Structure 1
Amino acid sequence: MKDVLYPIKFHPILKEKIWGGQKLKQLLDKESSLPNVGESWEISDVEGDCSIVANGMLKGTTLNELLKTYKAKLIGEKNYKVFNDKFPLLIKFIDANKDLSIQLHPNDTLAKKRHDSFGKTEMWYVMQADEDANLIIGFNQDLNLETYLKHQKNKTLPSILNFEKVKSGDTFFIDGGRVHAIGAGTMLAEIQQTSDITYRIYDWDRVDANGHARELHNDLVIDAIDFNMPNNFKVSYGKTKNKANKMVACSYFTTNYLEVEGLLHKENHNDSFLIYICVEGKAEILTEEKTVAVKAGETVLLPAALKTFKIKAEKAKLLEVYI
């Protein structure tokens, strides 16, 4: 095979969830026979859920096979030295028809110790929200472990949680260790470290069709929860057209907001892959070798070896992600 020098799209991996709904199928044109689709994994190297190329000469190849074949040409020299043959990010669309469980994720140190895994720092970009939809992030008061455990025992955790009403375009950054949940009526794009480790602490006393409640992870939470995080989780960002507007920059990923009108010439000056998540409208990504169309609800990966390209759109909103 010759070098990968074209924008790569993958088949979405759709997940049935107890809290899922119809928006991913109805609003983002995801094809599925599942009754309640909660998540669409767009780019994944999670074991058992590895993305498969959907376009071009590499169609049918898994993301992990791409990485093992092309190494730094796919993700960049520095990234390959750190992550080797493991793709570092997981990209999803999520539809919460009902409230998700109250949960948190371990940081890198704890995840490595307990699960031999990356931790899970993530961000959310709200694509659509019903009236009065909200998210839960953090607490509405200063807490210590003793007070938290008292509320946990009494099943009064919702009374100490911080609820944030949301609308389209709202963006949030969630560190490992921060309590959070997506509220009913919210559809969003999620960018996160490659990890599927979640500690569930409260699930609204729900049971499945067989009367079984989902497992809680209260013992694991004690060492993982961080009560001292500042309330800096809501992200403010510029919206200058045809320019990469910085949203989030952390050691795990950088995400920019990019609103394209017309033809935009782009250069990748980073030693990294680029990911474009289309959150509104449609666009074309043009390289010397290939033109790839992307519409709202689609995601495309540009290999690190691809340094110059163009983005063309009448009007499109994209999230640009790299490390």
Structure 2
Amino acid sequence: LIFSLNIEGTEKKMDPGNHSSVTEFILAGLTEQPQLQLHLFLLFLGIYVVTVVGNLGMITLIGLSSHLYTPMYYFLTNLSFIDLCQSTIITPKMLVNFVTEKNIISYPECMTQLYFFIIFAIAESHMLAAMAYDRYVAICNPLLYNITMSYYICFCLTVGVYILGITGSTIHTGFMLRLFFCKTNIVNHYFCDLFPLLELSCSSIYVNELLVIVLSAFNILTPALVILASYIFIISSILQIHSMEGRSKAFSTCSSHIAAVAIFYGSAAFMYLQPSSVSSMDQGKVSSVFYTIIVPMLNPLIYSLRNRDVKFALKKKFRL
């Protein structure tokens, strides 16, 4: 009898048409303390409203202001779109967790959330690198700026950003769909992310973890190196400017981008560029809040409050 049960269990696990006995997951959320649920709900609801209004406002303002039709604001429009999508994929489901006893998400919904989350996370990483390159060309090679950053080149860079996002997400999600989930269905996170889901797998996750390290290194370290190299040349060029006013203006055009980059790459690297056995999921949840919820809210505020062109466009539109 024991032998027959073992054979039956093995056949069930090896059945290629049945990758998971789990039909739904329960998202654990940020905290299990009931006294904090309402406060966190109101906090993140406010953040989400600011995120939607800020990013939609940025997209609309750039679209309506002809003097903002430049490569810098073309990339900024795409960054706002990415941030808006990223926040919408994560935050509404997270808010449900604060007002319900169990935040249930079906297996197909979980995989769909994972797929689109990875697309826009990778896209944001490379879009920030494209924006750094744009600043490098504008400051270090201003006479060739219109040629180097033509509309065609900007369009190609943007398409490349989304292709990298879709490619990376398809690889991660495809290998995740091959896993067999038969342990607890409680995901120790507020959304379906790679490491929390891998913890629930009964299958070998060696390939998945290897992909996380390799692709995360490529999608985080490569753009980060591009940004670092760009700003080394930028700072070198700025220091050669004799006028203090000229230096101040050059630094002001880059400071907002540096702030956005530091928050995004710092929190993302903390989550993905270390082995899952070392990183605590509770710490990972906190760092995830920054690049999935806080950064999409801060980006339009940083680029609007610290940008003279955007503030001028705002004043012009409100006067009308």
TM-score computed with the length of structure 1 as normaliser: 0.26
Higher helix share: 2
Higher relative contact order (CA 8 A, sep 6+): 2
Higher strand share: 1
TM-score computed with the length of structure 2 as normaliser: 0.26
Larger Rg: 2
